Structures are given as C-alpha cells and as structure tokens.
Amino acid sequence: MSPTIFREDGFRFFFFSREESRLHVHVHHADGEAKFWLEPAIELAQNYGLNDRQIRAAEALVRKHENDIRAAWRKHFGR
C-alpha cells in the first residue's frame, strides 16, 4: 500500500506502508522518482531519473507541504 499525500505540478507525494521508520516521503514524476528525508532535516535521500530542476521543484514542494506530510505520516503510521 502506498497512500498518496498530495499531487502538485506533475508530482505525486506518497509513503510506502512497509518501510523504514525514519520520516521521509517518496515523490513520483513521469520522468522518475525521488525520496526525501524530513528528519533530522529535509534532504534528498535518493534520485532515480529526475533532473536537477525537477529535484529542486520537488524539494520546494516538500518544504511547502512539510506540515501536511508530517501530519499524514502520523495518521498513517501512528507515530
């Protein structure tokens, strides 16, 4: 199961239900995927095919929606 948190500007932000406990979010785009840590700070964890511009755009959206992502994480994982 991978619940969608939100979609914006061609990106889908989601979690994988059975993954590590460190707070993070996955980002899907038609050109590839990335993973961003939210703890201890927002940073790129992995990138599979997104260019620098797309990574910057995705990171900006993670920062913009950080509180929503954290709330969705708590609701989904109960942490």
Q: Is 13 helix (H, G, I), strand (E, B) or coil?
A: strand
Please state the rounded mean pLDDT for residues 1-26.
91
Sheet containing 4-8: which strands, arranged edge to edge? 4-8, 11-14, 24-29, 32-37, 43-48
Every domain of the chain and the residues it spans: 4-77
pLDDT at position 17 is 77
pLDDT tier, 21 (very low <50, low <70, confident <90, very high otherwise): confident
What confidence tens digit (pLDDT) does each residue in 39-58 have?
A: 999 999 999 999 999 999 99
Region for residue 78 given its phi and psi (left: phi exceeds 0; alpha: psi -120 to 50; beta: otherwise): left
pLDDT at position 56 is 98
Q: DSSP string spanning 30-62?
A: TTEEEEEE-SSS-EEEEEES--HHHHHHHHHHH
